[in-house]
Homo-oligomer: A and B are copies of this chain.
Amino acid sequence: MSPRKSAHDELTKEAIISVARDLFVKEGYSSASMRKIADTLQCSHGAIYYHFKNKAQLFYEIVEADFQKLDQVLDSVLGESADTNEQKLFSIFYRYIQFGLTHQKHYELMFLIHDDDVKSYLNEGPNKSYMHFAQAINSLAPRSLSIKDIWSVFLSLHGFVTHYCRSETTFEEVKELASSHAQFLIKAIF
């Protein structure tokens, strides 16, 4: 029994986050328990509560970082040089799906978790990411799109990712379908 660790292996937020992310991704939100996280960190579960208010907040901080990754994906597409706006739009749609399906557990954590505790925390993360997305679409669209149309595009992409997340299909397995779904949405707005 030693109520405090020696300096060189003190617990850090970063260490907790790193371990917790792996466990959340591997087991999902509810199955990844604070005690399991603590075991992996070789500390007591109580210690985590010194660094994070509760499980939902720990989760939230992880997901927040993931949203920033999604933003980066969109930015990189916008930065790329493509021949036409249509090609860029296609690229955004396609890469959004690719991101969702190659980071399925992350996507799940970001958009699909259905937990009351978590839900109260998760509001501006998705919103900010969406605003990013909407602005990109709007700047590339051939005609002035209504806000509702952009929202429809997003929800349609979201539906694709959601469906294949649930059946745990890899992006490789559905890349042709992803391509045709992206094309379908282009058709709707051009």
Stoichiometry, as copies per complex, reads 2
Query: For residue A188, which residues in chain B have a CB less than 8 angstroms away from its CB?
Result: 184-185, 187-188
Contact B166 A151, beta carbon cutoff 8 Å: no
Query: For residue A155, which residues in chain B have a CB less than 8 angstroms away from its CB?
Result: 156, 159-160, 163, 181
Q: Which residue of the partner chain B has the closest CB to A113?
A: B166
Chain A 100-111: CB-based contact to B (< 8 A → 1; otherwise 0): 000000001001
CB distance from A132 to the nearest CB of B (A): 17
Query: Interface majority SS on A: helix, strand, loop or mixed?
Result: helix
Chain A interface category by residue count: 35 or more
Query: What are 19 A-B interface contacts by the 8 Å CB criterion?
Result: A28-B116, A30-B115, A31-B116, A111-B163, A112-B114, A119-B167, A146-B180, A148-B180, A148-B181, A148-B184, A151-B181, A153-B184, A155-B156, A156-B156, A156-B159, A156-B160, A158-B162, A158-B163, A159-B160
- A28-B116, A111-B163, A152-B160 known, 19 other contacts, Cβ within 8 Å: A112-B112, A112-B166, A113-B166, A114-B166, A148-B184, A149-B180, A151-B181, A152-B156, A152-B180, A152-B185, A155-B156, A155-B160, A155-B181, A156-B159, A159-B160, A162-B162, A185-B188, A187-B188, A188-B188
Chain A residues within 8 Å of B, Cβ to Cβ: 28, 30-31, 108, 111-116, 119, 146, 148-149, 151-160, 162-163, 166-167, 177, 180-181, 184-185, 187-188
